[in-house]
Amino acid sequence: MLLAYGGAVGVGLLATTSTASCVVTVGLHVGLAATMWIKSQKVDLQDSKALYAFYMLIWKLFYAEYFLLPLLR
């Protein structure tokens, strides 16, 4: 998933037509990737509740991408 965020950052840097769109695209994807990375480091793999909470975070990040789509140009 971090590779997908890296690809989105690359597209934001190379393919966006406006500076504002580039800043928004890159900034938000870096923020989402950082959120996932930080939360992943704190997951206790032996705790099913912690695993479920991280799983739900992944879905929230997935749906956050739908909110980013209108910002991409």
- Summarised one tens digit per residue, pLDDT across range 19-62 is 887 888 899 999 999 999 999 999 999 999 999 999 999 999 99
What's the number of domains the chain is made of? 1
Is 1 in contact with 62 (CB distance < 8 Å)? no
Could you give the dihedral angle defined by the CA atoms of residues 24, 4, 56 and 59, in that order, rounded to the nearest 10 degrees?
A: 70
Q: For residue 32, count other CB atoms closer than 10 A to its CB.
A: 19
For residue 22, the enclosing domain spans 2-71
Is 12 in contact with 44 (CB distance < 8 Å)? no
Burial grade of 13 (CB within 10 A; 0-12, 13-18, 19 or more): exposed
- Read off the pTM: 0.82
